Amino acid sequence: MINILSSDATTDESPFTESGPTDALRVRGASEASRAESPAAASRQASGEDPRSGQPHAANLISPTLRPASTADAPSRLLRELTGAQLIWEALLAEGVEVCFGYPGGAIMPAYDALPAYPIRHVLTRHEQGASHMADGYARASGKVGVAIATSGPGATNLVTGIATAMLDSVPMVCITGQVPSHLLGSDAFQETDITGVTLPITKHNFLVTKAEDIAPTLRQAFAIARSGRPGPVLVDITKDAQLGTASFDPEAEAPPLPERRLELADSGDFARAMALLSEAERPLILAGHGIIQAGAEDALLGLAARMDIPVTNTLLGLGGFPASHPLNLGMLGMHGEASANRAVQRADVILAAGMRFDDRVTGKLETFARRAKIIHLELDPAEIGKNVHADVPLLGCAKRSLTALLERAPEASHAAWRAEIGQSQRESAARDILALPDTGKLHAAHVLHDLWRLTGGRALIVSDVGQHQMWEAQYYKHEKPRSLLTSGGLGTMGFALPAAIGARFARPDEPIWVVVGDGGFQMTACELSTCAQEGLKVNIALINNGYLGMVRQWQEFFYGGRYVATPLKNPDFCKLAEAHGLDAMRVTERSDIARAVAWANGTEGTALIDFRVVEEDAVYPMVPAGAELDDMIRRPAASTEA
């Protein structure tokens, strides 16, 4: 059926965890709507074409153009005359913003000059990329919209990697950038960059604001877009003259409405067809992704799986959406997922995929993925349904609402034979686990992650960087609750973890936070140790130091004849580096010292770094080679065959 979803729809959930206005579709390429002042963008806008494909923009086909609204039509009541710079902070306060992350510069100086009058904490980063990752980490940890601020030109372009990271992982974020005065746009002025054009493919939407009166309504709309439907980053570029200008401010004005979108949401017939497949299945399986956590659908997922006795496997970003200790949990699937989970996917006869998009790291060779299974795809974004894997029954809509609808229709069921088959596969995998191998006295990264999980009781918030350590974390740190693992999934951004953990600290000030990071990725954003010191933050850092760009080295070992080109690292003394920032550090080379080191880090007042010197040439197992079938894995030899 057709549902008209309006922007003033409300739910009893936070805007981030529910679909908000309308289960609205993220429109990639909608960002050109308000950039007519930019000559580089004007020709794209005039043609109505996507510069990447030459085809009409999706926004031009299905929705009204999003444009900055004006306060001119506000009801008659007492208005205040404020500068554009003040209006930025007024709008952020109206959105409930308590903290932002940024780095000042010429084109954004008016905004910074106005900041001291407002009760918003500003965290000075050491690089704008760090600001975007901090805003991202704050959003992931809190479920709120993160805010990053930068100046024009290089300040704005330094945000790009963090914006792309948030886009691929559907994280709500608003980035505010200064821009050269409007009369200089298109003149190649000092530090002028068409940042709205640069970020067109990696934002959910973006705006160029050239008038003071448009600042507050545009920012209010940016927040609504960032958190609605499938969340994502929005960029608002504000010229310097707009910041210096004045306009009336209406503190009671509502955010401008989003355009309505017509989506064919799943109806009772769709849910009945899906439940018929699940009820008749002999080998059902649930694939639970990030959307479960985004929608707050954990209880509905648990209820459905338990009632129908259906095993559950998670994507990387879905970890924590289903309790790791539950007997139905199979762990992570995919390229470095559990072998038993990958085999279950290939053996299943019905798969319910909830809040996940079938990316290549999950499916392996698409043509042979789940070849025995009927697919029920429960997804908020219609662009994802059928994009990679055919859906026999598509269920478009919010994961929480859809899973609840399925749970209401679900009969009690048992799949003892199926679970026994999976159990046998799990026992075979356990025999190959490095934890089952004889202790050689060497310190393996898997030991560090397993012991960290045990020593923290699984209650820490883990912020993982990207690489081998990320996969070991996913395998050996068992996540029982949502938002307990923050990591870059879609973009795979090295350097994400430390700044994201800083942002997470402001979202969850009382929880233990551990950064899990490799020696390569750590050096990409190690400058943010200064931010930890200046802000007096408590973050623990588990540095997995193997002297290589480990995951690249593993590919070179397996697929490039062991030729380690540009992967060995000559590292600094990380303990001295931390101490140079006024932070505490220690080094661990033996497994017997892990417990003492973790206790020491937990007991320090500020940020503490542990340099774990692990085995250099270690590999993450299992591994599905690129282009291989999901169950065609490179496996670690079983313990009985090892010397």
Question: Which position among 144, 204, 240, 478 bears the catalytic label?
Answer: 240
Cβ atoms within 10 Å, residue 80:
12
The Cα–Cα gap between 369 and 338 comes to 16
As given in the structure block, the two tokens for residue 599 are: 């206790």
Contact 172, 231 (CB under 8 A): yes
Residue 559 a catalytic site member: no
Q: Residue written as tokens 């938002």?
A: 483
User: Residue 398: which of 25, 139, 1 has the closest Cα?
Assistant: 25
As given in the structure block, the two tokens for residue 543 are: 């540095």
- The phi and psi torsions of 241 (rounded to 5 degrees) equal -70, -30
Contact 9, 224 (CB under 8 A): no
Task: Give residue 370's identity as a one-letter amino acid code.
Answer: A
User: Residue 610: which of 457, 434, 469 has the closest Cα?
Assistant: 469
**In Å, how far are 279, 304, 406, 436, 498 from 412, measured between CA atoms?**
9, 9, 12, 37, 45
User: Residue 620: which of 428, 363, 445 has the closest Cα?
Assistant: 445
As given in the structure block, the two tokens for residue 374 are: 């009927």
Contact 400, 406 (CB under 8 A): no
The Cα–Cα gap between 38 and 321 comes to 43
- 341 Cβ contact list (under 8 Å, min separation 6): 313, 330, 331, 332, 333
The Cα–Cα gap between 200 and 396 comes to 26
CA atoms within 13 A on the CB side of 436: 14
Residue 481 a catalytic site member: no
Residue 561, sorted as left (phi over 0), alpha (psi -120 to 50) or beta, turns out to be: left
Question: Which position among 18, 90, 128, 629 bears the catalytic label?
Answer: 128
The Cα–Cα gap between 303 and 480 comes to 15
Q: Residue written as tokens 């079983």?
A: 638
Q: What is the DSSP letter of 34?
A: B
Residue 369 a catalytic site member: no
> Strand 121-124 and strand 173-179: pairing?
unpaired
Question: Which position among 332, 551, 623, 633 bears the catalytic label?
Answer: 551
The Cα–Cα gap between 166 and 290 comes to 13
State the sign of the Cα–Cα–Cα–Cα dihedral 347, 353, 358, 361.
negative
Residue 574 a catalytic site member: no
Question: Which position among 191, 346, 523, 534 bears the catalytic label?
Answer: 191
Residue 190 a catalytic site member: yes
Question: Which position among 81, 190, 254, 442 bears the catalytic label?
Answer: 190
- 326 Cβ contact list (under 8 Å, min separation 6): 302, 305, 312
Buried b or exposed e, range 326-337, using 16+ CB within 10 angstroms: eebbbbbbbbbb
Cβ atoms within 10 Å, residue 536:
9
Contact 215, 178 (CB under 8 A): no
Which are the catalytic amino acids?
128, 190-191, 240, 551
